[in-house]
Structure 1
Amino acid sequence: MTRRTTVHDLRSQKGSRKWLQLHVDNAEEAAAAMECGITILSCEPDHNLESIRSAVPFAFLSVGMPHGAVSSQQEAIRLGFQMLKRGADSIYCSHSAYFIEAMAREGIPVTGHVGLVPNRATWTNFRAIGRTPEEALRVLRAVRDLENAGAAAIEVEVVPVRLADYITRNTPMITMGMGCGSACDTQYLFSSDVLGTHADHYPRHSKRYADFVALTAELQTKRVEAFRAFAADVASGAYPETRHQVDMDDAAFERFFTLAQSI
């Protein structure tokens, strides 16, 4: 790939291609994803954003607008443009369609969210959303609201596969599926779940392909071993050796000593 993936690229291939998508935490993860052909990424707008953008100049990068960060349409537009300037291709926003519409009117690509929305889980609890006909209809209404607001993409999280499939086939938005089988336009997971970087709860839809908790523990053991050996060498006089230091010849030191007497 020789140029950055755009909203137009994604929309023009909707229905004919399934995209892989990862939420990454740093530039190393982003570069590894890109090396594997994963060109749709998401991340937080923290200090890693610029380094992630630099590591994957051609990826499509959706950057999360912190929930509650804006309280007016003007603030949403201002923050949206700031995030685009920092390297985002799309602004993930779990705020209402009111804010999304304001950004979309200004040409800011926005990714909305339906189904299990963690920032609103107090209203639903953390569970599958849309199993009953009535709840499925509420999910669809939320999709239509975001679609009418001008969202470019929509995260569909933990809804029944048939509902996710219906949504995907009946909206022009790119559907980013997490916990929805293979029904959506993208197959989306968090790198922390894929890499096994934490010892906390893993959602049902996640799958661990590595055990970074064990690797991190092993690295910590190696750190302690190395630091302990360093301390022991200093205590015994084994470090530093002559090869670890520099010195002056006798003539240079004598000249220095003479000059030093004048200070």
Structure 2
Amino acid sequence: MLKALKGRKRLTMLRYFTLDEAAAAEVAGIGIVPAEVVHAISARLDIMLWSMGSGAGYEAQYLFAEDIPGEDRGHIPRHARIYRNFAAEYDRLQAERIAAFSEFRDDVASGAFPGDRQIVKMPKAELDTFLDRIGG
């Protein structure tokens, strides 16, 4: 297993796997490992490699689902590419949500809610039957 730690803005390799250990796998996901290291591994193994931040030329590329639509605020990992700005859309939706609840609260306080359309009613004959059955 290849392990890496960030240290002073670079990757420090802690331990290298043996090629025999890696060959036993069918698929390996390699993330944020220098492209040159992944290329050397790929050239020596006949397994499917998935890469995140380790360059192109492997069987698959992947990113975290939150990175692609741009859900994060603040730090964006260097291996990520943001394709949309969902964070801004979530902010807009939250502002709309707050406005909607505020309007509801105001309508309740003023008596505008519920209106006739939101009130469930029943025919008088059914109401009379119900009241008779419950002793009223």
TM range (shorter): 0.7 to 0.9
Letter in 2 for 1:114: L
CA apart distance, 1:244: 1.5
Q: Which residue in 1 is equivalent to 2:76?
A: 202
Q: Which residue in 2 is equivalent to 1:255?
A: 129
| Identity across matched positions, percent | 30
Residues 1:233 and 2:68 aligned together: no
Q: Which residue in 2 is equivalent to 1:66?
A: none
Instruction: Answer whether contact 1:114 1:157 (CA < 8 A) is retained.
Output: no
Q: Which residue in 1 is equivalent to 2:34?
A: 160
1:128 to 3, 8, 11: 11
What TM-score, normalized to structure 1? 0.45
Instruction: Answer whether contact 1:164 1:184 (CA < 8 A) is retained.
Output: no
Residues 202 and 236 (structure 1), Cα distance of their counterparts in 2 relative to 1, 3 Å cut: same
Residues 252 and 155 (structure 1), Cα distance of their counterparts in 2 relative to 1, 3 Å cut: closer
Q: Which residue in 2 is equivalent to 1:114?
A: 2
Letter in 2 for 1:176: W
Residues 255 and 151 (structure 1), Cα distance of their counterparts in 2 relative to 1, 3 Å cut: same
Letter in 2 for 1:128: L
- The residue matched to 1:162 in structure 2 has which SS? helix
Letter in 2 for 1:147: A
| Structure with greater Cα Rg | 2
Q: Which residue in 1 is equivalent to 2:19?
A: 144
Unaligned runs of 5+ in 2: none
CA apart distance, 1:200: 4.6
Residues 144 and 200 (structure 1), Cα distance of their counterparts in 2 relative to 1, 3 Å cut: farther
Write the deviation string for residues 46-68 of structure 1: whole angstroms up to 9, x where unpaired: xxxxxxxxxxxxxxxxxxxxxxx
Write the deviation string for residues 175-219 of structure 1: whole angstroms up to 9, x where unpaired: 111111213222121111222212253221111111221111111
Write the deviation string for residues 10-44 of structure 1: whole angstroms up to 9, x where unpaired: xxxxxxxxxxxxxxxxxxxxxxxxxxxxxxxxxxx
Write the deviation string for residues 231-252 of structure 1: whole angstroms up to 9, x where unpaired: 1111112111112122122222
Letter in 2 for 1:224: I
Write the deviation string for residues 128-155 of structure 1: whole angstroms up to 9, x where unpaired: 345xxxx7xx53xx1515325x211112
| Separation (CA, whole Å) in 1 of partners of 2:127 and 2:115 | 21
Compare relative contact order (CA 8 Å, sep 6+) and give the higher one, 1 or 2. 1
Instruction: Answer whether contact 1:114 1:143 (CA < 8 A) is retained.
Output: no
- The residue matched to 2:30 in structure 1 has which SS? strand
| Separation (CA, whole Å) in 2 of partners of 1:156 and 1:166 | 13
Residues 255 and 157 (structure 1), Cα distance of their counterparts in 2 relative to 1, 3 Å cut: closer
C-alpha RMSD of matched pairs (Å): 2.4
